[in-house]
């Protein structure tokens, strides 16, 4: 497995065999002629044929890649007929008594050089056009064909450089991507790649022996991989399939409402684990952030994140989401997520141990720092705060007390904040049973199905031996969800799901019938869930 970097033209993945394309290397012979008229006639004939070919290419391009891309062949035709170009060729033949091929080659080089020396990137790129028409003329004169070899299966095309006349002749259905050594973002190859929506990487030190080898183009990172290892191939294949699915869904669903056929609307939010994920949440059409895991701030560092560091992160997400809801969950470490500088004791049973809100209510200083940062960020968007691992009403009352203290402090120090909604995660059986009382104290519930399943079924989800009986569809889990929804609604608060089960489209209908108000899923699942919701009709049972 070998990897190379280049400049990416189109963000997409392609996987396929390499077809190494080499131009016919015209070695143009310089020879004396006796009869200028005869040579002139030969040139005029070649010109006629070249123009016919170009007209054919223009029509083909017009059909396949549209007017804007076809226009270049019109320009080529005009170039072939350009007075100066023709005068120069004619002169060399006449004055120096040299053959047409040589005259064309020399003239082509001179004009190409003129463009290459201009101080304008667009004009510089036109040198390729002059070379292209000259090569075409020489090919006709010398009876060789400038046509591109036929490709039997879809390939990734590797070439030093590609002229528009070469790219247009290719069978587009057989093209997965381009890799070239030369070319610029202004080149026809680049424009064509964009028009065709296929990845292209330029500026790569290409090698002839790549021909026929398997290759992956990662257009997101400008990376090409020759003879990829199995693991990487599998990973990229999955990514590519995912990409394809998303593309289809995006076409259909971006910007559409998450509403069933019979008119029931549900909020569809995204789970994110860092500031950088906001872009993917928005790209995939999430209506908000249903779970922002704040742990990353603690896990990525070797010290307690400061109020300022946290404030900046929360503020950025709130601003990027531009008024859409952003639900941030307070620190949820412990169990499978350990942080060295917290210096926590080793536990026999960490899943049931010192974690999440239990740490926060024990080490109030850490908790208060986070709450201060969250409240300060609330002024910049639509933030809600959510607390994990709740087992009692007492905990919620204590949290609200601390929150009130923090607000008073901030007010005293002249900071602005908004009145944020607060909610709790429902992920322990205790919180399920107490959901009627808890609902009176908070603005929303969000059900964390992963932990709820683990605690309800008493199955350690880290233990691979238990995988076969760890069943999130277990009736006990589903009944718990129903109970939470009912208790929430009785008390006028909304209830959502932010665990992995939220993205399980085999349960979407069940959740909607239960009365779930919100689903928060990984960004890449948003559109799939939306599609499922939009295909549902709850009026029939």
- The nearer residue to other proteins, 185 or 265, going by C-beta atoms, is 185
Give the shortest CB-70-to-other proteins separation in angstroms. 11
- The nearer residue to other proteins, 108 or 228, going by C-beta atoms, is 108
- The nearer residue to other proteins, 89 or 424, going by C-beta atoms, is 89
Among 115, 269, 304, 494, binds other proteins (CB under 8 A): 115
Residue 223 contacts other proteins per CB under 8 A = no
Give the shortest CB-54-to-other proteins separation in angstroms. 12
List all residues 6 or more positions away from 197 whose beta carbon is below 8 Å from its beta carbon: 10, 12
Q: How far apart are CA 439 and CA 445, in angstroms?
A: 8
Residue 360 contacts other proteins per CB under 8 A = no
Angle subtended at Cα 506 by Cα 502 and Cα 509, rounded to the nearest 5 degrees: 80
- The nearer residue to other proteins, 72 or 420, going by C-beta atoms, is 72
Active site (annotated) includes residue 188 = yes
Q: Which stretch binds other proteins (CB under 8 A): 51-59, 108-116, 159-167, 269-277?
A: 108-116
Q: Which residue has the tokens 């076809």?
A: 70
- The nearer residue to other proteins, 34 or 84, going by C-beta atoms, is 84
Among 126, 315, 325, 376, binds other proteins (CB under 8 A): 126
* Torsion 64-68-73-74 (CA) sign: positive
Residue 83 contacts other proteins per CB under 8 A = yes
Q: How far apart are CA 115 and CA 101, in angstroms?
A: 21
Among 34, 63, 95, 119, binds other proteins (CB under 8 A): 119
Other beta carbons less than 10 A from residue 66's beta carbon: 11
Among 1, 41, 122, 279, binds other proteins (CB under 8 A): 122
Q: Which of 76, 90, 188, 360 is catalytic?
A: 188
- The nearer residue to other proteins, 125 or 457, going by C-beta atoms, is 125
Q: Are strands 223-226 and 214-218 parallel, antiparallel or unpaired?
A: antiparallel
Residue 66 contacts other proteins per CB under 8 A = no
Q: How far apart are CA 356 and CA 167, in angstroms?
A: 58
CB 229 within 8 A of CB 222: no
Beta strand residue intervals within 167-288, DSSP E: 175-180, 200-202, 214-218, 223-226, 267-272
Give the shortest CB-127-to-other proteins separation in angstroms. 11
CB 494 within 8 A of CB 216: no
Return the SS3 of 8: strand
CB 21 within 8 A of CB 137: no
Q: Which of 191, 189, 67 is nearest to 59 (CA)?
A: 67
Residue 74 contacts other proteins per CB under 8 A = yes
Residue 397 to residues 213, 328, 431, Cα–Cα distance (Å)? 65, 19, 14
Q: How far apart are CA 112 and CA 130, in angstroms?
A: 6
Give the shortest CB-194-to-other proteins separation in angstroms. 16
Number of residues that bind other proteins (CB under 8 A): 21
Active site (annotated) includes residue 498 = yes
Residue 67 contacts other proteins per CB under 8 A = no
Q: Which residue has the tokens 């077809």?
A: 19
Q: Which stretch binds other proteins (CB under 8 A): 70-78, 158-166, 233-241, 319-327?
A: 70-78
Q: Which stretch binds other proteins (CB under 8 A): 82-90, 292-300, 361-369, 430-438?
A: 82-90
Give the shortest CB-137-to-other proteins separation in angstroms. 15
Residue 85 contacts other proteins per CB under 8 A = yes
Among 15, 130, 331, 521, binds other proteins (CB under 8 A): 130
Q: How far apart are CA 167 and CA 444, in angstroms?
A: 57
Residue 131 to residues 77, 108, 116, 164, Cα–Cα distance (Å)? 13, 6, 11, 11
- The nearer residue to other proteins, 113 or 301, going by C-beta atoms, is 113
Active-site residue list: 188, 498
Binding site for other proteins (CB under 8 A): 71-72, 74-75, 78-79, 82-85, 111, 114-115, 118-120, 122-123, 126, 129-130
């Amino acid at each position: 497995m070998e990897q190379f970097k280049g400049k990416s033209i189109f963000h997409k993945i392609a996987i396929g065999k390499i077809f190494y394309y080499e131009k016919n290397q015209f070695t143009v012979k310089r020879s004396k002629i006796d009869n200028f008229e005869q040579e002139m006639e030969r040139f005029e004939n070649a010109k006629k044929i070249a123009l016919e070919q170009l007209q054919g290419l223009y029509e083909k391009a017009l059909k396949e890649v549209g007017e804007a891309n076809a226009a270049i062949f019109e320009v080529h035709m005009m170039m072939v007929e350009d007075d100066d170009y023709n005068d120069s060729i004619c002169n060399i033949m006449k004055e120096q008594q040299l053959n047409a091929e040589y005259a064309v080659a020399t003239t082509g080089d001179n004009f190409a050089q003129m463009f290459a020396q201009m101080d304008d990137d667009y004009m510089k790129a036109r040198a390729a056009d002059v070379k292209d028409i000259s090569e075409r003329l020489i090919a006709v004169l010398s009876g060789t064909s400038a046509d591109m070899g036929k490709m039997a299966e879809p390939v990734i095309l590797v070439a030093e450089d590609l002229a528009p006349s070469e790219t247009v002749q290719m069978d587009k259905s057989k093209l997965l991507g381009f890799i070239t050594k030369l070319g610029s973002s202004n080149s026809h190859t680049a424009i064509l790649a964009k028009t065709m929506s296929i990845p292209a990487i330029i500026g790569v030190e290409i090698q002839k022996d790549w021909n026929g080898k398997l290759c992956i183009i990662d257009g997101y990172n400008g990376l090409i991989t020759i003879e990829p290892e199995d693991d990487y191939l599998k990973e990229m294949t999955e990514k590519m399939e995912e990409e394809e699915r998303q593309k289809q869904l995006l076409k259909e669903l971006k910007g559409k409402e998450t509403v069933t056929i019979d008119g029931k609307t549900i909020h569809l939010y995204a789970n994110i684990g860092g500031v950088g994920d906001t872009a993917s949440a928005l790209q995939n059409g999430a209506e908000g952030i249903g779970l922002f895991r704040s742990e990353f701030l603690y896990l990525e560092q070797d010290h307690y994140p400061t109020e300022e560091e946290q404030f900046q992160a929360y503020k950025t997400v709130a601003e990027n989401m531009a008024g859409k809801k952003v639900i941030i969950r307070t620190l949820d470490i412990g169990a499978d997520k350990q942080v060295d500088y917290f210096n926590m004791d080793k536990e026999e049973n960490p899943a049931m141990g010192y974690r999440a809100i239990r740490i926060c209510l024990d080490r109030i200083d850490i908790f208060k720092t986070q709450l201060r940062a969250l409240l300060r960020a609330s002024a910049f968007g639509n933030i809600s705060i959510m607390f994990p691992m709740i087992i009692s009403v007492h905990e919620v009352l204590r949290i609200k007390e601390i929150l009130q203290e923090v607000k008073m402090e901030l007010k005293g120090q002249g900071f602005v904040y908004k009145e944020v909604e607060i909610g709790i995660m429902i992920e322990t059986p205790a919180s399920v049973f107490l959901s009627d009382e808890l609902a009176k104290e908070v603005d929303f519930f969000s059900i964390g199905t992963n932990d709820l399943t683990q605690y309800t079924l008493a199955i350690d989800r880290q233990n691979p031996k238990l995988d076969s009986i760890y069943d999130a569809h277990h009736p006990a889990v589903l009944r718990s969800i129903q109970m939470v929804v009912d208790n929430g609604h009785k008390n006028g608060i909304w209830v959502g799901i932010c665990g992995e089960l939220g993205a399980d489209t085999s349960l979407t209908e069940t959740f909607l019938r239960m009365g779930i108000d919100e689903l928060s899923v990984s960004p890449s699942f948003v559109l799939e869930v939306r599609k499922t919701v939009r295909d549902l009709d709850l009026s029939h049972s």
